[in-house]
């Protein structure tokens, strides 16, 4: 605090320019200058001077220690060297190392304890990583020996996991995905974790250790540890990813980093521990959405995820829909046998399904699950009927999925055609009177056997029902939806619809399609005229003659201004 920038510069210069030991005490002074605790009154704008000062100090110290590294005064002395050098040197070496350790601690303190987004913290992170690189060269047991300073990295990871951002919640956790938005972590991920293979390997290894040691707790109340973990690993650039392009960070890392299988094991272990910890609902959804693409491939034994997925699937609702993808992956590749799969799937078709954005994902999978022609007719009919029923209050984007889907199902299971065409109830002019009487009786006694509330798709009675819903949707207000629904009344000539054409419609795309239409023919005007668009307000009504008001054509009689 007392030293000015010039003084800092002078002190640092003395140490760096000459190896005169007398100057080394300057380091102590400089270190003392560096605060161990974050400044309590740091605010974002008013403190640029102070921040600049600290940054300068940190850089100066970094230069000093770099010099010391170069002079070999920081490298640990082997027993042989210790003997050769004598106690004074050993003591001096230990003193230097202590200084260096305290510098590192202070840097980490900045990282761990700063609660605001500052460039100082980012600089500290960079400096720390550069020190790490220096260490890997100079702390190796002998020259050119492969070495990675994993303890140093472990300290950094602990600090990153300790770091918390104050203020706005969105700075710590991304609201939409539930992933951590800690800027230090993101910086570390983008700059060091993603591109460097050795950093990845040792981060995973050390993180596993830290979790065991209890330094990183996965059961924290707000699930931030898991959020950070997901933020760190939710990308496709891992060592074992097929098309990852990675480099090494330190000049001569140990061979261990090339062991993909070991890395997988570590990653798997870490995933399992974090999945067992606290996970926020948003993060839960995020994990489930990426599970089949970014998590399962990194597992030696994906079956370890079975319990997690089964639990998720049993939760029902959106979580279950999302878990379906991972579950499917396990079923296909790992022979996961899921009891009562179809009833569960049937129960997933809820009114909410029609209104959530994960709808296409679900339908894509359902298309696969129901692709088998060996399914029972009752089961298929139940699915068809339930979808049809739900489409009665669904947005057009969902209806345009349901219609081709049902069409494809009917094509695949022609037995179910009875749901749109039951020849038993067709009246025919050539029928005899008794046949007609029979038909009339049959029609009169017919009751829809479908039970919407039945959970088991084998017992819903849908097969005896009929798709009146599709018939009614031919009257849909959107002309394209209506004409799409009319396929059911036309001969089934088309082989099948390509579902991909229909999955991703939404109000936005429908309206965009409308907006892109050019005004070829002028829109037709209403010839009917209304005297008023809405009814008079009661205040005005008093002034009007009551019999006059009665004779006026009002567009919306139940609304006033």
Residue 539: CB minimum distance to other proteins, A: 6
Q: How far apart are CA 275 and CA 304, in angstroms?
A: 11
SS3 (DSSP) at 358: coil
Q: Hey, what are 144's tokens? A: 């050119």
Q: Which of residues 370-409 bind other proteins (CB under 8 A)?
A: 389, 391-396, 399-400
By beta-carbon proximity to other proteins, the closer residue of 373 and 445 is 445
Q: How many CB atoms lie within 10 A of CB 136?
A: 22
Residue 120: CB minimum distance to other proteins, A: 36
By beta-carbon proximity to other proteins, the closer residue of 176 and 213 is 176
Q: How far apart are CA 423 and CA 425, in angstroms?
A: 5
Q: Which of residues 136-175 bind other proteins (CB under 8 A)?
A: none
By beta-carbon proximity to other proteins, the closer residue of 306 and 474 is 474
Q: What are phi and psi of 516, to 5 degrees?
A: -80, -15
Q: Which of residues 100-119 bind other proteins (CB under 8 A)?
A: none
Q: How far is CA 112 from CA 109, 216, 382, 502, in A?
A: 5, 13, 56, 49
Q: Which of residues 311-370 bind other proteins (CB under 8 A)?
A: 355
Q: Which of 48, 422, 435, 459 binds other proteins (CB under 8 A)?
A: 422
User: Quick check: 469 binds other proteins (CB under 8 A)?
Assistant: yes
By beta-carbon proximity to other proteins, the closer residue of 43 and 428 is 428
Residue 433: CB minimum distance to other proteins, A: 19
List of E strands, 262-410: none
Q: Hey, what are 173's tokens? A: 């956790």
Concatenated DSSP letters of 5-64: HHHHHHHHHHHHH---GGGGHHHHHHHHHS-SS--TT--TTTTHHHHHHHHHHHHHHHHH
By beta-carbon proximity to other proteins, the closer residue of 195 and 395 is 395
By beta-carbon proximity to other proteins, the closer residue of 222 and 448 is 448
Q: Which of residues 514-543 bind other proteins (CB under 8 A)?
A: 514-527, 529-530, 532-537, 539-540
Q: Which of 446, 455, 459, 494 binds other proteins (CB under 8 A)?
A: 446
Angle formed by the axes of helices 341-348 and 317-334, nearest 10°: 150
SS3 (DSSP) at 535: strand
- Interface stretch with other proteins, choices 22-30, 95-103, 152-160, 508-516 (CB under 8 A): 508-516
Q: How far apart are CA 416 and CA 462, in angstroms?
A: 10
Q: Which of 256, 375, 418, 549 binds other proteins (CB under 8 A)?
A: 418
Q: Hey, what are 72's tokens? A: 């070999």
By beta-carbon proximity to other proteins, the closer residue of 184 and 503 is 503
CB 254 within 8 A of CB 148: yes
- Interface stretch with other proteins, choices 106-114, 278-286, 366-374, 467-475 (CB under 8 A): 467-475
User: Quick check: 552 binds other proteins (CB under 8 A)?
Assistant: no
Residue 519: CB minimum distance to other proteins, A: 6
- Interface stretch with other proteins, choices 126-134, 239-247, 262-270, 468-476 (CB under 8 A): 468-476
By beta-carbon proximity to other proteins, the closer residue of 189 and 378 is 378
Q: Hey, what are 420's tokens? A: 């749109």
- Interface stretch with other proteins, choices 118-126, 222-230, 335-343, 490-498 (CB under 8 A): 490-498
First to last CA, the chain: 68
Q: What are phi and psi of 532, to 5 degrees?
A: -140, 150
- Interface stretch with other proteins, choices 75-83, 84-92, 259-267, 476-484 (CB under 8 A): 476-484
Residue 476: CB minimum distance to other proteins, A: 6
By beta-carbon proximity to other proteins, the closer residue of 9 and 443 is 443
By beta-carbon proximity to other proteins, the closer residue of 338 and 468 is 468
Instruction: List all residues 6 or more positions away from 451 whose beta carbon is below 8 Å from its beta carbon.
Output: 459, 460, 461
Q: Hey, what are 86's tokens? A: 């004598």
- Interface stretch with other proteins, choices 28-36, 213-221, 334-342, 551-559 (CB under 8 A): 551-559
Q: How many CB atoms lie within 10 A of CB 524?
A: 6
Burial 250-284 (b: 16+ CB within 10 A, else e): beebbeebeeeeebbbbbbbbbebbbebbbbebbb
Residue with tokens 């040691």: 213
Instruction: Pick the closest to residue 319 from 343, 283, 354 (CA basis).
Output: 283
Total number of residues that touch other proteins (CB under 8 A): 85
Residue 464: CB minimum distance to other proteins, A: 8
CB 175 within 8 A of CB 282: yes
User: Quick check: 510 binds other proteins (CB under 8 A)?
Assistant: yes
By beta-carbon proximity to other proteins, the closer residue of 373 and 529 is 529
Q: Which of 177, 289, 382, 466 binds other proteins (CB under 8 A)?
A: 466
By beta-carbon proximity to other proteins, the closer residue of 91 and 440 is 440
Residue 493: CB minimum distance to other proteins, A: 10
- Interface stretch with other proteins, choices 69-77, 104-112, 206-214, 440-448 (CB under 8 A): 440-448
């Amino acid at each position: 605090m007392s030293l000015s920038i010039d003084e800092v510069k002078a002190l640092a210069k003395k140490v760096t320019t000459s190896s005169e030991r007398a100057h080394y005490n300057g380091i102590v002074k400089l270190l003392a200058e560096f605060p161990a605790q974050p400044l309590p009154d740091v605010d974002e704008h008013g403190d640029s001077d102070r921040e600049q000062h600290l940054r300068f100090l940190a850089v100066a110290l970094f230069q000093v220690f770099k010099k010391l590294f170069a002079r070999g005064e920081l490298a640990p002395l082997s027993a042989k060297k210790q003997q050769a050098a004598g106690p004074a040197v050993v003591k001096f070496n230990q003193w230097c190392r202590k200084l260096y350790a305290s510098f590192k601690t202070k840097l980490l303190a900045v990282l761990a304890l700063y609660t605001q987004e500052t460039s100082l913290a980012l600089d500290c992170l960079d400096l720390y990583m550069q020190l790490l690189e220096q260490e890997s060269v100079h702390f190796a047991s002998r020259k050119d020996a492969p070495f990675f300073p994993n303890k140093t990295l472990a300290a950094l990871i602990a600090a990153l996991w300790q770091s918390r951002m104050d203020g706005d919640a969105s700075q710590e956790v991304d609201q939409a995905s539930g992933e951590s938005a800690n800027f230090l972590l993101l910086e570390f991920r983008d700059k060091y974790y993603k591109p460097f293979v050795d950093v990845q390997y040792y981060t995973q290894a050390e993180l596993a250790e830290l979790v065991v040691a209890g330094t990183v707790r996965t059961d924290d109340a707000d699930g931030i540890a898991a959020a950070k973990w997901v933020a760190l690993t939710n990308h496709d650039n891992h060592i074992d990813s097929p098309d990852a392009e990675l480099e090494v960070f330190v000049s001569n890392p140990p061979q261990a980093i090339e062991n993909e299988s070991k890395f997988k094991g570590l990653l798997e272990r870490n995933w399992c521990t974090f999945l067992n910890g606290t996970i926020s609902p948003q993060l839960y959804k995020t994990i489930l959405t990426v599970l089949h693409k970014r998590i399962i491939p990194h597992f030696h034994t994906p079956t370890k995820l079975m319990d997690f997925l089964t639990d998720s699937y049993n939760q029902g609702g959106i979580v279950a829909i999302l878990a379906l993808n991972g579950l499917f992956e396990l079923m296909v590749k790992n022979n996961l046998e899921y009891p009562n799969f179809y009833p569960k799937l049937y129960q997933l078709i809820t009114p909410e399904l029609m209104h959530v954005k994960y709808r296409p994902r679900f339908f894509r999978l359902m298309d696969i699950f129901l692709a088998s022609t060996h399914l029972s007719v009752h089961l298929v009919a139940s699915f068809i009927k339930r979808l049809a029923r739900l489409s009665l209050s669904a947005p057009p984007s969902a209806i345009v999925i349901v219609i081709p889907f049902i069409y494809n199902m009917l094509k695949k299971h022609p037995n179910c055609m009875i749901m749109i065409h039951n020849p038993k109830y067709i009246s025919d002019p050539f029928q005899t009177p008794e046949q007609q009487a029979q038909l009339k009786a049959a029609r009169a006694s017919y009751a829809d056997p479908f039970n919407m509330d039945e959970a088991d798709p084998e017992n819903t009675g849908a097969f005896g029902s009929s798709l009146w819903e599709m018939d009614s949707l031919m009257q849909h207000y959107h002309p394209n939806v209506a004409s799409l629904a009319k396929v059911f009344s036309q001969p089934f000539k088309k082989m099948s619809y390509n579902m991909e054409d229909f999955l991703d419609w939404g109000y936005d795309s429908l309206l965009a399609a409308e907006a892109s239409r050019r005004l070829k023919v002028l829109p037709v005007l209403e010839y009917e005229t209304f005297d008023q668009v809405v009814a008079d307000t009661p205040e005005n009504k008093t002034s009007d003659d009551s019999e006059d008001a009665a004779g006026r054509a009002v567009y919306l009689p139940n609304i006033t201004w």
